[in-house]
Amino acid sequence: MKGKLGILSGGGVLPRLLVDACRSNGREVFVLAFDGHTLPETTDGIDHAWVRLGAAGTAMKILKEAGVADIVLAGPVRRPSLAELRPDGWGLKLLAKAGARALGDDGLLRAVIVELEQEGFTIVGIDDVLQGITAAAGALGRVEPDDGALADIRRGVDVLQHLGAVDVGQAVVVQEGIVLGIEAAEGTDGLIARCGALLREGPGGVLVKLRKPGQENRVDLPTIGPETVRGARDAGLRGIAVEAGATLVLSVDTVIREADAAGLFITGISVPE
C-alpha cells in the first residue's frame, strides 16, 4: 500500500476527484485546503486542514503531523500579489531561494517542489493517482479539424513553444493565422472569453493548450473540462487542440458529448520536443 497522500488543493473539481480515487483504492488521504481557493465541498468527509496561502511554515507542520508521505498539487490557484500573500518565514525563505524563477508559474512551482522534497516528501503527478485522465491522440469526439484549423493549430504550437521558453502561458487562441490572445493571469477561461469579442468573420478561432518546454511534469499540467468546452462554444471558437498524453481532461465523457453537440472538435496532438 502506498503512503498517505497529501493533496495541496487549489480550486476546481480536480482535488475532489483525487480524494474519491484514493477512497476507492483504500489509500489514506489528507487535504490541505487554501482559504479563498479550495472549494468547500472538496473537504467533505475527509481529514483536512485550512490554511492561508502564505502560511507555508504552518502548512509544512500540518502535513508532517498528518503523517503525509506523498504530495500532489492539484487545482488552479490565483497568484496573489506579495502584499496579499503575506508570506511567513518559511515562505520568505522559499521566495528568496527562488529568486527570479518566482516570476513565472513553472519556476515558482519548481522551487516549491525542491523545498518539499528537502523536507522528506515525495511529489507525485496527478496522472499517477488518476489513471487514464490525460488526452489521447487524435479526435476525442465526432468532429475533426479541417486543413484551416490544422494550420491554426501549428501556428499556436509555434507561438506557445516560444513563449513557454520564458515561462509565459500554456494556451493561445488563433484564428486564420492571427493570434487573438495569449493566456495570462486570467487563466484559460478568461482567455477564451476575452477572445470571443475579438473574432473576425469566417471560421472561428482555435484554442491550443500545451505544456511549456521543459515544464515540471508532476505539477500544473494543462487541463480542460466541460467548462472549457462551454466557454469555447459561447465564444464562437471552432475547436480545441491539446497535447496528447500531457493534458488532463476532466469528465471526459461530458467533454466529448458537449463538444459533439456544439459541433466543436477536440483533438490530442503530438508536440515536437
Which amino acid is located at 39 in the chain? L
The pLDDT score that the predictor gives to residue 103 is 45
Q: What is the pLDDT of residues 233-252, one digit of tens each?
A: 999 999 999 999 999 999 99
Contact status, residue 28 vs residue 4, Cβ threshold 8 Å:
yes
Residues 143, 146, 149, 153, CA torsion sign: positive
Mean pLDDT of all residues in the chain? 88
Reading the block at residue 122, the C-alpha cell is 515525495
Provide the pLDDT confidence category of residue 131 given band limits of 50, 70 and 90.
confident
Contact status, residue 235 vs residue 141, Cβ threshold 8 Å:
no
Residue 140 Cα to chain centre, angstroms: 19
Of the two residues 106 and 259, the one the predictor is more confident about is: 259
Contact status, residue 5 vs residue 27, Cβ threshold 8 Å:
yes
Provide the pLDDT confidence category of residue 107 given band limits of 50, 70 and 90.
low
Q: Is the pLDDT of residue 47 over 90?
A: yes
β-strands 265-269, 223-224 pairing: unpaired
Q: What is the pLDDT of residues 140-156, one digit of tens each?
A: 999 999 999 999 999 99
Nearest to 80 by CA among 100, 97, 102: 102
User: What is the share, in percent, of the chain residues with pLDDT greater than 70?
Assistant: 90
Residue 83 vs residues 9, 102, 105, 211: alpha-carbon distances, Å: 22, 15, 18, 29
Q: Where is average pLDDT lowest: 32-41, 64-73, 75-84?
A: 75-84
Neighbours of 88 (CB within 10 A): 17
Q: What is the pLDDT of residues 204-235, one digit of tens each?
A: 999 999 988 877 778 778 999 999 999 999 99
Contact status, residue 22 vs residue 31, Cβ threshold 8 Å:
no
Q: Is the pLDDT of residue 99 over 60?
A: no
**Buried-state track 223-233, b at ≥16 Cβ within 10 A, e below 16:** bbbbbbbbbbb
Q: Is the pLDDT of residue 101 over 60?
A: no
Reading the block at residue 213, the C-alpha cell is 518546454
Domains of the chain: 5-129 (3.40.50.20), 138-269 (3.40.140.80)
Mean pLDDT for 113-124 is: 87
The full DSSP string for 12-78 is: SSHHHHHHHHHHHHT--EEEEEETTTS-GGGGTTS-EEEE-TT-HHHHHHHHHHTT--EEEEES--P
Provide the pLDDT confidence category of residue 95 given band limits of 50, 70 and 90.
low
